[in-house]
Structure 1
């Protein structure tokens, strides 16, 4: 299937956290966060991804998260996380996302059962792309899937009419450069490793899909705009001095827990609650994260 969707993705897309209130998704808090990020000049949103704790959501909660995001985004591009372990399961999530009004789907390799041959990964991704109701972006996150999407597979699957790009959250910049060299000219690359977003854009990435854009959107917008204006010195300073130190907290403590703690420190979430098996951070760690947030916002 080749979809006719022509929505353009570019710049900084925010992989939204999923706020919780007790045992439920906090739709009000999610709406307020999206609206705040729209005002901050985000380029689009990615709900129900890794930072959004998609694996801890019921099917109904998954739909609620997507519906709330699409409504609050008010026409801004939405790339829905659609991770599942089977081709039909992935296609079902993509169908749900399409029905709700999302503009594209973010697709991972099956987790738990890794392919015993690279051909298996290509077969899975190609089967999804063939029948997907939305344009597909690949999501390379080997820490969660057990293996990377091999660059040769990206090169091959990237020629599919319905595959538009890739988010790389490997943290391996050599992988990113290899994919950038192999990918078709119109293939869009996004850096998912926050501390690599500036070097990634300088090396040809379309932009970033970065957890901390939930928290310090103005900093990511500053990085995006500096690269667009060719101000390499400023872009490098923003990345190294404002993004990288806070991102280390995410690497150390986990993306959803650290991002939610940072949002709580800004007063943008009432609670930093996460769902098991994730654990909310202790008060000392929250204080350290708050200091890092303040540091990122104080530097210009």
Structure 2
């Protein structure tokens, strides 16, 4: 699969639904994927931040990736979350993803033991890419990893044959543009911070990888098609209240509450240390969802 072409659009970091007993809900996960495919999503990314990967066992991650591959049936690429704190664990997740037929893996820099020098991240990512059986999409999310991938580091690793691009969820547009300037044209740049999607696309981003595309994939697809028009600006404004809710309550809890309101999943259950959105806050999320859908096609 030509990932550079396939990822030009909106890819969704898919939620991982849980049942009332706290287990991964296979049927609800399938319902989310069907919801996304019905609204022409361009790719799916299970076991990312919004997918609560850090709360899943290795066996659960493999199963979620397997379900995603089976459900999409090659219609769109499956990017498998493989973030971990050691190279051996990342490569184990990569091997599992390859076994079930995923198209690429997504890798953050190590967290907890963060790099004491940018060279450490460079070596980590290059060694993972050298040995990964699948192409590697990098993921910059400093709020969760404790440090960012420096533009100079990305300029170096972007020439690796097995590294295809970057999802940036830093919320720093200047950083995003700096990376774009320092990396080759075929290095895929995906904006992961929903509030910056239109500005990033207007400056040349290849696409978006956005949590709230779980909730309103049709609105995100419309935004991608119209980002350089007033319509795109209006959709970006319509996304803002729901994005603000995610910032306040957490992306997985708020996204699941929004999906429950829309009737896509039966429950918004999350795993500790996350907690569900409080009852008092649900009306605001419901109102934001309704407003976004009303602005859609």
TM-score, structure 2 normalization: 0.96
Secondary structure of residue in 2 paired with 1:24: coil
Give 1:107-186 correspondences, 5 Å limit.
107-186=107-186
Secondary structure of residue in 1 paired with 2:114: coil
Secondary structure of residue in 2 paired with 1:84: coil
User: Does 1:268 pair with 2:264?
Assistant: yes
Q: Residue 197 of structure 1: CA displacement?
A: 1.1
User: Does 1:74 pair with 2:70?
Assistant: no
- CA deviations on 1:155-214 (whole Å, 9 max, x unpaired) are 000010111100000011111011011111111000110111111111111111100000
Secondary structure of residue in 2 paired with 1:50: coil
- CA deviations on 1:125-157 (whole Å, 9 max, x unpaired) are 111111111111110000000000000001000
Q: Which residue of 2 aligns with 1:239?
A: 236
- The partner residue of 1:9 within 7, 10, 14 is 7
Q: Residue 6 of structure 1: CA displacement?
A: 3.5
- The partner residue of 1:248 within 238, 244, 263 is 244
Secondary structure of residue in 2 paired with 1:288: helix
Q: Residue 251 of structure 1: CA displacement?
A: 0.7
Q: Residue 96 of structure 1: CA displacement?
A: 0.6
Q: Residue 299 of structure 1: CA displacement?
A: 2.3
Q: Residue 73 of structure 1: CA displacement?
A: 1.1
Note if contact 2:169-2:192 (Cα within 8 Å) is conserved in structure 1.
Answer: yes
Q: Which residue of 1 aligns with 2:46?
A: 47
- The partner residue of 2:278 within 277, 282, 286 is 282
Note if contact 2:22-2:271 (Cα within 8 Å) is conserved in structure 1.
Answer: no
Partner Cα distance (1:288, 1:36) in 2 = 23
Q: Which residue of 2 aligns with 1:38?
A: 37
Matched residue count: 292
Higher relative contact order (CA 8 A, sep 6+): 2
Give 1:210-249 correspondences, 5 Å limit.
210-227=210-227, 231-240=228-237, 242-249=238-245
Note if contact 2:22-2:269 (Cα within 8 Å) is conserved in structure 1.
Answer: no
Q: Which residue of 2 aligns with 1:195?
A: 195
Note if contact 2:252-2:270 (Cα within 8 Å) is conserved in structure 1.
Answer: yes
Partner Cα distance (1:200, 1:260) in 2 = 26
Partner Cα distance (1:197, 1:98) in 2 = 30
Q: Residue 239 of structure 1: CA displacement?
A: 0.8
Q: Residue 235 of structure 1: CA displacement?
A: 1.1
- CA deviations on 1:17-45 (whole Å, 9 max, x unpaired) are 00001221000000111011101000010
RMSD: 1.0
Larger CA deviation: 213-222 vs 7-16: 7-16
Stretches of structure 2 that go unaligned for 5 or more consecutive residues are: none
Partner Cα distance (1:115, 1:198) in 2 = 32
